[in-house]
């Protein structure tokens, strides 16, 4: 049992050594091969994309319904200035 005040000293060192034998195209191979059973959860990715698209569509619909009278008003004024009535 540890009782009272005490300190723990951590130390480490890192040395970077260049490896000129590794080709640029295969530099990640040791990481990718160490975990061959990568389980990409496609359902979650597709579900997230569907939700994002749905919410974006809902937001666009809200903008359209809110700004539609403004667009129609500007369009009517454009015809009046041009001398044509819609």
pLDDT band at 85 (very low <50, low <70, confident <90, very high): low
Produce one character per residue of 57-72: b if its CB has 16 or more CB atoms within 10 Å, e if not. eeeeeeeeeeeeeeee
Residue 28 is classified by DSSP as: T
Whether 71 shows a pLDDT value over 70: the answer reads yes
Give pLDDT, residue 7. 84
pLDDT band at 70 (very low <50, low <70, confident <90, very high): confident
């Amino acid at each position: 049992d540890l009782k009272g005040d005490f300190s723990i000293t951590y130390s480490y060192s890192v040395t970077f050594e260049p490896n000129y034998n590794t080709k640029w195209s295969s530099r990640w191979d040791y990481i990718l091969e160490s975990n061959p059973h990568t389980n990409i959860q496609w359902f979650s990715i597709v579900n997230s994309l569907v939700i994002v698209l749905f919410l974006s569509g809902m937001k666009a619909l809200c903008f359209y319904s809110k700004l539609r009278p403004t667009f129609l008003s500007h369009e009517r004024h454009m015809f009046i200035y041009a001398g044509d009535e819609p």
